[in-house]
Structure 1
């Protein structure tokens, strides 16, 4: 029976290859969309945790995704926050979501206060020397940039004054005053990162902020609360997008296997009649078809996983800053879904083959 399974697949090589590639595409779609979406989300969480702040506060109308919100607060609010008990550093930020060559957050910062949260680790160069200076991280520098080079940010030319280790919020930093001039928010900030004398005093600081005139409606979160909000369950559209793509991928794999196995059964009506006349049971006939689809699915899954690793390598070479998180968990999920899709895609053709009358099958031309 195993020889028969392999012989059936080899007899129609083009159809078998198409089925294998269809399953591979299904696996690539599942793994790639999960790797990109979770990579972006988890990468942002890691960089946010590396800022070194204990709390963040911003006007209540702003989104937790600060980059997509306007700069609604005066930078001078930082001076007020610094006077509150238990607050040791208040760093204003103006973050702009840029959709240039890639989608990224550009950080407008006051270098002194932002560096006080957790000092930058410079690989080369140093802090801003002028209004048109920029700092980039080592991932961004891997694109071939170095200190002294020119870089375009928000359609404006900057000189790279320093390269720092990654994981400090963004990948590109410019002076907050320059950011305000470029996007028309002079003297404004998106929010404020706070460093406390002791993180245990966060509830006290939150109450102090809300008791400050003009800041009653400010949103105040600890960094743990902010990081917990950057999760799929807290981002409904994240799960919708992920499930939609996975659903489409499963349907593609199911339909291709179904079509391939159904066509194979129709073409082998006489062969099935011979097998049944020789005493093959219905279970044996079903087993042949299921094994054929299973072999196609296994080959397609292996090809899809290998191709996804190739895609990751190519993307990292082309876009060093891109987060592509390919995990064992999602490889397992993709494998299970592709094999399940192949099984159910072959089930009806297998049952149809097993139900054929041997006399009629032998008479089939």
Structure 2
């Protein structure tokens, strides 16, 4: 039977290649979209964890996507927070998200750097109101002193740091206020406590019992990040489901068309097999083995191309956060196999149900 299966596939090489490529495209669609979307979430977690904060303090009017909310807190709140016992560092930030989903951090350099010091590769801190510090991913083609367009204004690079500190571009918080008409405002405050995590709950309660701070949200880093997950982002989950569904339908239709056409072209061959004693199950198995071989080759090619694509994007577009997720590889493989088998079931049983006399007389 295996020789028969291989012979059937090599007899129409172009159709076999197209079917393999279609299954590969299905797998690439599933894995690449998941890698980009989940990579954004995982990248956000990694960069936020690298800031060095213990507590995240923000007005109740600010949502979890702080850069999408207007800076609504008075920056003078930082002074109130600094007076609370066991608070070591308070860093106000004014974060804006651009139309290209680029996070721009407006920071007070001294306090933000006190959370976890920047690791400068070249240059140094801000030297002027139009200075910008960027990370090494953004600086692939830039160097210290070069101009950089941010929020419609021209800045000059004062320093290049290692990535992993929340954002990728940092400008003075006062400059951010002027550009966004939020002078004297902050989106949130990053706190570092003494002897963390010993005093976290104590500091949280002290903040919430401070006059004027009762309506603020005070979360630990883990609590904040737990709100930014695929399960807590309905639009992300829905997008992944839609793309996955489209990819499975594509795989199903291609395999269905390929197997159905192959069955129609091999009507006489099927009649000969049945006249020689081949059972219905034998014919069904032969068709399904063809499908499994085609889909197996397509899946292997799709997974390989997805990983190669990841290497290419990591080199040329490192800020994309393309991360192939192991569970999604398994999910993509199973969905591709499932779609292919569903597409082959009807042609397989149609072939098995052919009458050998009619099949032999078929022209």
Using the size of structure 1 for normalisation, the TM-score is 0.96
How many angstroms apart in 2 are the aligned matches of 1:24 and 1:147?
43
Shift of 1:17: 2.1
Partner of 1:185: 182
Shift of 1:189: 0.5
Shift of 1:266: 1.6
Contact 2:135 2:169 in 1 (8 A): yes
Partner of 1:166: 163
2:150 corresponds, among 153, 159, 162, to: 153
Partner of 1:316: 314
Per-residue CA deviation, residues 232-262 of structure 1 (Å, 9 max, x unaligned), is 1122222111111111111110111011111
Shift of 1:333: 2.2
Partner of 1:352: 350
Per-residue CA deviation, residues 76-102 of structure 1 (Å, 9 max, x unaligned), is 1101110111211111000000124xx
Partner of 2:86: 86
Partner of 2:236: 238
Structure 1 range deviating more: 311-320 or 68-77: 311-320
What is the aligned length? 362
Contact 2:94 2:105 in 1 (8 A): yes
- RMSD over aligned Cα atoms: 1.3
Partner of 1:37: 37
Shift of 1:108: 0.4
How many angstroms apart in 1 are the aligned matches of 2:343 and 2:283?
16
Segments of structure 2 that go 5 or more residues without pairing to the other structure are none
Shift of 1:105: 0.7
Partner of 1:52: 52
2:332 corresponds, among 331, 334, 339, to: 334
How many angstroms apart in 2 are the aligned matches of 1:68 and 1:37?
18
- Is 1:254 the counterpart of 2:252 in the alignment? yes
Secondary structure of 2:175's partner? helix
Contact 2:34 2:325 in 1 (8 A): no
Partner of 2:127: 129
Per-residue CA deviation, residues 45-87 of structure 1 (Å, 9 max, x unaligned), is 0100010010011110101111111100111110111011121
How many angstroms apart in 1 are the aligned matches of 2:248 and 2:178?
49
Where in structure 2 are the equivalents of 1:178-217 lying within 5 Å? 178-198=175-195, 199-217=197-215
Partner of 1:305: 303
Secondary structure of 1:168's partner? coil
Secondary structure of 2:32's partner? helix
Segments of structure 1 that go 5 or more residues without pairing to the other structure are none
Where in structure 2 are the equivalents of 1:66-77 lying within 5 Å? 66-77=66-77
How many angstroms apart in 2 are the aligned matches of 1:14 and 1:362?
26
Secondary structure of 1:321's partner? helix
Partner of 1:107: 105
Secondary structure of 1:200's partner? coil
How many angstroms apart in 2 are the aligned matches of 1:47 and 1:194?
16
Contact 2:283 2:352 in 1 (8 A): yes
Partner of 1:9: 9
Partner of 2:277: 279
Partner of 1:61: 61
How many angstroms apart in 2 are the aligned matches of 1:239 and 1:321?
22
How many angstroms apart in 2 are the aligned matches of 1:161 and 1:140?
13
Shift of 1:263: 1.5
Shift of 1:328: 3.4
Contact 2:54 2:191 in 1 (8 A): yes
How many angstroms apart in 1 are the aligned matches of 2:241 and 2:199?
40
